[in-house]
Every structure is written in C-alpha cells, then in structure tokens.
C-alpha cells in the first residue's frame, strides 16, 4: 500500500511527439469484482490481467483477512482465488483498512452486510471523507445492523445479523447514477430472502451484472420507464470460473488525451475495455474532433475489448451531453485537459458526483487549470473551460491519482515546467504510469 504521507512529485518537461504501441494495466472495477466474487464462489477462480494497484490489493488483503487463500498477482498479473462459498468467510481479527478505495468499501459493505459476524471498514484520509450514507441507508432498509460515522463518512461498522437470519429483499430507486451503490444493494441481495432490485436514473457501469453472470449467478436486467432495473434473487450459488480482465479504459484515457493534444504522432493502445457503459470519454473526445479509431473489436471474458489508435488532432470545445456523464465519470480530469487544449469553450453540467470522488475533482481541476493560466468557471454540477495556452506552475493533486496523471499529460502543451505534488496515489490505479508515459514520449521525472 502506498504511504500517503510521503510526497512524490512529477516534474514535467516539454515534449512534442507522442507515439508507440502500449498496453495499459487491467481494469480496476473488474479486478475488484474478480476478487470479491472469486472469494464467494465454490471452487478455484483463475484471473488474468489483474490490476496490481493499491486499491485492488486492498480488496485482496481484506478477503485474505477473512480467511480466503489468494495467490498472486504474479509477474504476468495472474491471480488464483480459492473460493469458500457464500458462507465461507470468517470474521476479520481487526478493522479492515481499505486505503483509498471507494469501490472496496461500498461493494464490500453490501457483500458483508448479510454476514453473521461483526466487521469494520475505514481507509486513508481521502476515503474517510467520502459519503457512505448512500450505501448504509439502503442496507438498513434491508435489515442490516450497519452504521457510518455521524456525518455519514467511514468507518462503516456492522454488528452482523443473527445466526439463521437473512436480509430482507427490497426494491431501491437509486437517488444518483452510481454503480457502486447499485452493486452494493445487489450484492447484499445475494444474502436476502426474495428478489432485490435496483433502478438507476442514468446508465452506470454494469461489470457487477456481467461478472455475476460469468460466475453462474442469475441476474435479470429490464428497461423500465424509470430507467434500467436490475434484479437478483437471494440464495443462489457462485461457481468458480476464469476471468480475463480487460485493459482499463480509465487508464487508457490519459494516453488518448496525450495522443490527441501532442503536436504530432500516432499511438496505439491495445486491449482496452470497451464496455458500452464505460465509453463516454471516447464519445466526448470524438465529438471534440479527436481522431480516435477503434480497431480489432472482440470479446474477452464477457467484456468487449478493442485497440485504440490515437492521432494528434486540432480539438474543439463542445457542450458535453449529460447522458455521457456517468459513462465517463472517472475520465473527466483527463477530458478537462483536452478541453484546455481545445479551440473554444467546453461546458460540462450534471456532474455533481465529481465533487465526491477521491477529491472534489471540479475544484481540484479548476484550481490546477487556473494555476496554468487557463480560464475556467466552476458551477455546482460542472465547469466551463476556455481553451488556451497552458503555462507552468505547481499543482496540488490532493492525493487524487487522476488529478496527478491529468496534469502530467498536460505538460505536452505547456510552455514551461509543471510540478505536481502528492502523487503517491497514482499507484492505486496505474502503478506503471510514469514508465509508460516516458516510453511514448513524455518527459516525467519522479522524485
Ligand atoms: C466504480 C464506479 C464509479 C467509479 C469508480 C469505480 C465501480 O463510482 O467512479 O471509480 O467499480 O463500480 P460511482 O458508481 O459511485 O459513480
């Protein structure tokens, strides 16, 4: 796990050309779920392409602390999970420390709400500020003995439910488009009596639905007038399987933006996950006139994947379609850098969820862009960014991996040096980011 108190800096230098052929690490969402479902499955699950980032290692360590034997990741990023079935977990001896990972705490709150033992989860200073009432409230409706701190932040604490009891199935209309909340309720539904269902107000990533299906757990998905409804009946079994984790489109987006804003060059990014619930950044960057071609489309492990070819492009500002917001929710910091390099104004609205990510990403990005002399206006639920000339300066990433990587990429179009502080958490999602960035033509120095 990275030491969040240590300050790493990435000092960027000017580089004009981005080119090459790269593979980005495995998808974070799929890697988390592979450990969770593999642990609860009957039999041995083999995972390939696992992301060895701190967030996914936190999930792995939490299941190890509950008695699951997990091998790897080895150098090829293979992981073997010796599942013990739905009732195979044992009580952790101490509070589970899940570092920086919102996905771990929210999905595991659902998975663990129906266990008979007590547990506690908390994380680092960034995670401990993030909202957990959004998962605690529906879990209480299901009869879980669960709570968060008074202001709704971690620790999340459960006393467990009585031996022989189960949770109660509910229908839940999600108040916000959140895959983490949807997944939390559905995973609790595995331990509930009857059918638990969730309706989402906007399309969110569907890795939980896909991967549960791959583990043989029945999941029903329907379109309703209120939005997509996902239902799950408690009490079925997960059966071990082989999971191929695709490359993370969220990590690939930094390189898509790098390739587009570079003065010249062509970059190929291989084996990128193309799940339709994740491709908002591609839609947005293409609308901004980005030359992105999707080639070699194929299926791998129940998820669509493809290679992405990126060419340097004259970008233009756009009004971002609100429908693309949940489909690009993690990619906005990188998209804001594309907007800063585009001709004209890019406007984003309907994105208030960005304020409760690893940092307040609207404010953190606006502060950084202003430091580099880019004109932007902040709104409660979005931002207007006027494309211009990035200059030089010192950026606070607020321990947020995606803020750090976005400003690292921005150096391609800056007139001087950019120093980015608090970069340790890049290791949560993209441990080899600096190496890959330098391989394609950037000049980043870590110290
Ligand atoms: C995730 C869902 C998203 C995303 C996060 C990973 C997941 O959060 O931001 O990085 O794996 O389910 P929300 O669903 O809360 O928007």
Report whether residue 12 contacts ligand 1, using a CB cutoff of 6 Å.
Answer: no
Q: For residue range 13-72, list pLDDT tens digits in order.
A: 666 799 999 999 999 999 999 999 999 999 999 999 999 999 999 999 999 999 999 999
8 A C-beta contact, residue 25 and residue 248: yes
H/E stretch holding 37 reads helix 28-40
pLDDT digits (tens, 9 = 90+) for 387-430: 999 999 999 999 999 999 999 999 999 999 899 999 999 999 99
- Give pLDDT, residue 6: 45
Distance 180 CA to ligand 1 centre (A): 5
Tell which one of 330, 331, 402, 430 to mutate to probe ligand 1, the residue whose CB is within 8 A of the most ligand atoms.
Answer: 330
Residue 11 CA to ligand 1 centre (angstroms):
29
Nearest CA to ligand 1 atom 5: 103
pTM of the model as a whole: 0.96
Kindly report the protein residue whose alpha carbon is nearest to atom 16 of ligand 1: 178
Burial class (CB in 10 A: 0-12, 13-18, 19+), 75: exposed
Is any atom of ligand 1 closer than 6 Å to the C-beta of 251? no
Q: Is 206 a catalytic residue?
A: no
**Could you tell me the domains of the chain?**
9-26+246-446 (3.65.10.10), 28-244 (3.65.10.10)
107 CA closest ligand 1 atom index: 12
Q: How far is CA 339 from CA 347, 374, 400, in A?
A: 9, 10, 20
Q: Whose CA is nearest to atom 4 of ligand 1?
A: 330
Average pLDDT on 277-304 reads: 96
CB 358, CB 400: distance < 8 Å: yes
Binding residues for 3-phosphoshikimate: 28-29, 33, 178, 180, 330, 357
29 lines ligand 1 (CB under 6 A): yes
């Amino acid at each position: 796990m990275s030491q969040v108190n240590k300050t790493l800096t990435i000092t960027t230098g000017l580089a004009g050309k981005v080119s090459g052929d790269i593979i980005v690490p495995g998808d974070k969402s799929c890697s988390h779920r592979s450990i969770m479902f593999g642990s609860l499955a009957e039999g041995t699950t083999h995972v390939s392409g696992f992301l060895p980032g701190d967030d996914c290692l936190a999930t792995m360590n939490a299941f190890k602390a509950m008695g699951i034997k997990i091998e790897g990741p080895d150098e090829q990023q293979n992981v073997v999970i010796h599942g013990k079935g739905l009732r195979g977990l044992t009580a952790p001896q101490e509070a589970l420390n899940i570092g920086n990972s919102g996905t771990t705490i929210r999905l595991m709150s659902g998975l663990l709400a129906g266990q008979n033992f007590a547990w506690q989860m908390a994380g680092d200073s960034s995670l401990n500020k993030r909202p957990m009432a959004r998962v605690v409230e529906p879990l209480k409706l299901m009869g879980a003995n669960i709570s968060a701190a008074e202001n709704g932040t971690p620790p999340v604490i459960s006393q467990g439910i009585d031996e022989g009891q189960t949770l109660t199935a509910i229908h839940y209309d999600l108040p916000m488009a959140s895959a983490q909340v949807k997944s939390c309720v559905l995973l609790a539904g595995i331990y509930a009596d009857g059918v638990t269902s969730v309706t989402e107000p906007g399309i969110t990533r569907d890795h939980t639905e896909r991967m549960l299906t791959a583990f043989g757990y029945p999941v029903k998905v329907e379109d309703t007038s209120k939005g997509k409804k996902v239902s799950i009946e408690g009490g079925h079994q997960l059966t071990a399987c082989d999971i191929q984790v695709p490359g993370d489109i969220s990590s690939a987006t930094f390189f898509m933006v790098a390739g587009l804003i570079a003065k010249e060059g062509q970059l190929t990014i291989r084996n990128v996950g193309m799940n339709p619930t994740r491709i908002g950044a591609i839609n947005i960057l293409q609308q901004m006139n980005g030359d992105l071609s999707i080639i070699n489309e194929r299926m791998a492990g129940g998820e669509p994947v493809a290679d992405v070819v990126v060419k340097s492009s004259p970008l233009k500002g756009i009004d971002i379609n609100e429908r693309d917001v949940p489909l690009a929710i993690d990619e906005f910091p990188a998209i804001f850098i594309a907007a800063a390099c585009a001709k004209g104004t890019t406007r984003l609205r309907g994105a208030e969820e960005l304020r409760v990510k690893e940092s307040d990403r609207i404010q953190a990005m606006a502060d950084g862009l202003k430091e580099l002399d880019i004109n932007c206006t902040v709104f409660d639920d979005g931002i207007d960014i006027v494309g211009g000339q990035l200059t030089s300066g010192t950026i606070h990433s607020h321990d947020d991996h995606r803020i750090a990587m976005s400003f690292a990429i921005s150096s391609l179009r800056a007139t001087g040096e950019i120093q980015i502080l608090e970069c340790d958490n890049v290791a949560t999602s993209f441990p080899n980011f600096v190496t890959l960035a330098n391989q394609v033509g950037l000049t980043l120095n870590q110290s």
